Structure 1
Amino acid sequence: MATEDMSRAAEARKPSGPSGRRGVLALAFGVFAVGTGEFVLAGLLPLLSQSLGVSVAVAGQVVTAFALTCATAAPVLTTLTAGWPRRHVLLVAVLTYLAGSAGTALAPSYPLVLVAQIIAAAGVGVFVPTASITAAALVPPHRSGRAIATVVTGFTAAVTLGAPLGTALGGVLGWRATMWFASALAILGMLGVLALVPGRVPVPAPQGLRQRLLPLADVRVVAILGTTLVGFTAVYIPYTYIGAVFAPATSGDELRLATLMFVLGAVGTVGNLAAGALADRFGGPRVVAGALVWLIASLLVLPLATASYGAAIAMVLCYGIAAFAITTPQQHRLLSMETGSAAVLVSLNQAVLYLAIAMSGVVGGLGISWAGATNLGLLAAVLAALALGLSETARRLQGQRAAGRRGT
């Protein structure tokens, strides 16, 4: 059985030439499409609040429900569909997302918006990790890391381009138009999968849920994932409620808010790319520590930069670099441990990231109720400091393990 599994894994790594690269690009666009529907919610919260007659904090729980569903769907549903052909899984996932996105556009009340977004999130939770694994199987072994990075770039593009465009569209035509825009992107993504992803993509033998969760028995993995959880909760608290945090600066103008989101995504892309290069040179732990220190300083200054639009732009430039500089080094740390498989670790980290987004909606909503939107940066700074402590704990554990190996 082990030989058969190894044979399947080797088959999954066979090179596929230009057609494989086109398939990877199609998968990256699919991630961009579903990611846009997720990240655009942050810019739509003020509009949702006004349209559905709920507070901004309550509207923010749409983000919580979406991310929490993704976090639970990623390991469970990908395990249940592990034996299906990859293209079949991708198409079912994008159709599920499309049903939820269109249902959100048609929903007449807040509870139905919540239900529709849960349906959409189930599709996203399956699509993203499946796209990463499929992309790795479409290219030669030495290009698998780049293939996964290309697919993940679809998320960055969703933050940089998709979410600002959707927010601007919502400001002009209403939030329901934005959801139809997201649905149209999903249709294009589905057509790309149909046209460019092969019907049968050989992948390693399916793993059960227990095997997927096995790395959690390693305390080093738990510490690194804990850093992701707490650190990205801190990152996404201001992002989830960006409309409310910078309301004094934007005066409720959705186009101004869209510009802020675009600047945030653009500088975040630069920060992520720079962090990846730095992680290769100095190691993931050092880059994560530096980014978290930068993030803490930015969040402490945030309450002072919400009154004017110029200050808001400057704040977003500073905060965005630190926020997105954590992503790649965290994956670098996990993959360098050689614990389990790359696909399992990436999937776990993605699930924890979604859980962090969910927590940001809850914690941020409570923070708005207790201290007001403009003071959310202070709450996020406390969490970022806790993440720094977890990151350093993980670094020490890794050092102790390495020292133990050298001593044997």
Structure 2
Amino acid sequence: MEFSGKVGLSVGWITLFLMGIDLFVVSPLLPFISEAYNVSSAMTGWMVTVFAVTYAFFAPFFGWLSDKNGRRLLITFGLLLFVISNILTAFAPSFFWLIVSRILAGLSVASITPLIYAIIVDTAPPNRTGTWLSIVVSGHLTALWAGAPFGMLLEHFLGWRSVFVIMAVIGAILAVVNFNTWKYVPKIYLTRNLLEGNLLRILGSVSVTTFWAISMYALYVYLGASLYSENRFSSTEIALAITFYGIGAVLGSLISGQLTDRFGERNISKVTLMFLTLIFVCLGIFFTSGDWIYFFLFLWALVGYAGFSSYQARLAVEYSNERGIVMAWNNTALYIGITLGSMIGGFVISKWGYSFLPYVCSIAAVLSFVLSTQKVQDTKKESAYSDT
């Protein structure tokens, strides 16, 4: 069992790392894609938009379906669709088919990412849920800072199309690996309606993640531009700052697992949001303080992503009967928050400038904390599972 657990964690980590690469690698490649298809940068930006919208829309459906019929086949299906979508992205004959390929990619990732989170919690020992979940989350977060360099390196030597070909090959291998890894996880079925009036409660719970994402991404989306504008950072210094942020994100996720298992999901998720609010205020005060900014960026990501991992663990535990759909709704809430955060960040910059962004983020963090104090579920409903 111990060995099987390590194998499952490794497969989950690698799978989520690949999903993260697919998400974060597209943006730096947009100029090359724009040139290849002779379209404007604004048009190529739709590649990111349609991916995110498709993911956000379909993730809850796949989560619901996995709670009814098991996760293994849906994860495998998603990876096979991932292979097809990336091959189509690499060799799309026109820009229209390129957009279609990213819609399919969003659909594929929607049936993989939240289900990997759910199946890891399904298989985790009761006292190790936070640790196991934080480990696989770190795979996705590692791609946050590794995705862009990976894509640019391949583009430099082999061209941008090679990035998607290589992801398709890895996806095909992972389809086989995941199909075999989760073979011995029993499928479980609920004998009654999965939600049974819980949908509004679930939406209220995942709104915590929406405001958390607003607080994180209203600044992060414009981090490079703000560092250049307020600190006159060079491209090398901006890259170093983002590296500090990325390392903090991965470490925060990993550390949160140990803390969550020791002190409880609810306590850690609330405490991290309190500290996140304070860090944003400090970030606003010290944003133009030169080298100190590296420390505060590291601290911001460390605390912020520790909170994200612990809150996911909290949802997984407190919604144990609807785990797949709750993980999916939480990921949808994340994408909605990222979108709203980028919009709010753009508005703040146009009205008051970059220096106000950390303070606006602190307000969003406070709102996330207030929402997190609600009771997720008053009582555990009795399970009505039957193994097959």
Give the alignment's TM-score, normalised by structure 2: 0.75
> Does the 8 Å CA contact 1:87/1:197 hold for their aligned counterparts?
yes
1:197 and 1:29 map into 2 onto residues whose CA distance is 14
Match of 1:67 in 2: 52
Does residue 169 of structure 2 align to residue 169 of structure 1?
no
> Does the 8 Å CA contact 1:163/1:261 hold for their aligned counterparts?
no
Change (3 A) 1:372 1:101: farther
Shift of 1:368: 4.1
Match of 2:187 in 1: 204
**Which residue, out of 134, 159, 163, partners 1:181?**
163
1:228 and 1:242 map into 2 onto residues whose CA distance is 21
1:70 and 1:203 map into 2 onto residues whose CA distance is 27
Shift of 1:36: 1.6
**Which residue, out of 145, 156, 172, partners 1:190?**
172
1:211 is paired with a residue whose SS is coil
Give the letter for the 1:216 counterpart.
L
> Does the 8 Å CA contact 1:165/1:258 hold for their aligned counterparts?
no
Aligned-residue sequence identity (percent) comes to 23
Does residue 360 of structure 2 align to residue 379 of structure 1?
yes
> Does the 8 Å CA contact 1:81/1:89 hold for their aligned counterparts?
yes
**Which residue, out of 203, 218, 223, partners 1:237?**
218
> Does the 8 Å CA contact 1:23/1:193 hold for their aligned counterparts?
no
1:246 is paired with a residue whose SS is helix
Does residue 77 of structure 2 align to residue 92 of structure 1?
yes
1:386 and 1:27 map into 2 onto residues whose CA distance is 32
Change (3 A) 1:288 1:24: closer
2:29 and 2:125 map into 1 onto residues whose CA distance is 41
**Which residue, out of 335, 344, 352, partners 1:354?**
335
Shift of 1:265: 1.8
> Does the 8 Å CA contact 1:237/1:360 hold for their aligned counterparts?
yes
1:42 and 1:374 map into 2 onto residues whose CA distance is 25
Change (3 A) 1:228 1:121: same
**Which residue, out of 188, 193, 199, partners 1:216?**
199
Which segment is superposed worse, 278-287 or 106-115? Answer: 106-115
2:330 and 2:15 map into 1 onto residues whose CA distance is 20
Deviations 1:296-349 (A, max 9, x none): 333345456666863442331232122212112213433453663444433332
**Which residue, out of 76, 100, 105, partners 1:120?**
105
Report the RMSD for the aligned CA atoms in angstroms: 4.3
Match of 1:261 in 2: 242
Give the letter for the 1:211 counterpart.
L
Shift of 1:125: 0.9
> Does the 8 Å CA contact 1:284/1:329 hold for their aligned counterparts?
yes
1:108 and 1:371 map into 2 onto residues whose CA distance is 44
Match of 1:6 in 2: none
Give the letter for the 1:34 counterpart.
M
> Does the 8 Å CA contact 1:43/1:258 hold for their aligned counterparts?
no
Match of 1:364 in 2: 345
Aligned ranges for residues 255-334 of structure 1 at < 5 Å?
256-302=237-283, 310-334=291-315
Number of aligned positions between the proteins: 375
> Does the 8 Å CA contact 1:46/1:244 hold for their aligned counterparts?
no
2:194 and 2:25 map into 1 onto residues whose CA distance is 34
Where does structure 2 lack aligned partners over 5 or more consecutive residues? 380-388
> Does the 8 Å CA contact 2:90/2:165 hold for their aligned counterparts?
no
Give the alignment's TM-score, normalised by structure 1: 0.72
1:108 and 1:373 map into 2 onto residues whose CA distance is 40
> Does the 8 Å CA contact 1:31/1:152 hold for their aligned counterparts?
yes
